[in-house]
Amino acid sequence: MVAALVRYHNCKSEPQMDHKSYTALDGDRREDARMLVALLRIAERLESGHRRMVGDVCVDVEDGQAIFRVQMQNGARLDVGGLGRKAAMFEREFGLRPVFRRAQTKSKVRGKVA
């Protein structure tokens, strides 16, 4: 399973029956691998700079969409276009159209401590 996840996470190839690491898995495990790879591709794109700019990700499912609300560190940009390209496998495997939005940050309350 790990070999398949490593091979497919970066979009350079798709799971195929002529790949040893994929054919070694039974049917249910192949399905699990495809779904995990779909999520890993999104996660990898979110942190492609390896700078820990993502604080949290929440996903809501509504009307055939998976709405990813991504909390970014201050000043960080959410690359929606890049995420869309990495999410094609997610849409195929989960049957949901992925939508990416920057989560609203909680405003800090300033005040004096007594």
> What is the per-residue pLDDT across 56-93, written as a single tens digit (0 to 9) for each?
889 999 999 999 998 887 767 777 777 888 899 899 99
Distance separating alpha carbons of residues 52 and 72, to the nearest angstrom: 9
- Contact predicate 29/35, CB 8 Å: no
What per-residue confidence (pLDDT) applies to 110? 43
pTM of the model: 0.77
3-state SS class at 79:
coil
DSSP state of 110: P
User: What H or E segment, with its residue span, contains residue 20?
Assistant: helix 20-23
What per-residue confidence (pLDDT) applies to 52? 80
Give CA separation, 66 vs 53, 54, 62, 69, 107, in Å. 21, 18, 7, 10, 26
What per-residue confidence (pLDDT) applies to 11? 63
pLDDT bin (cut points 50, 70, 90) of residue 109 is: very low
Residue with token string 């989960």: 94
What per-residue confidence (pLDDT) applies to 64? 96
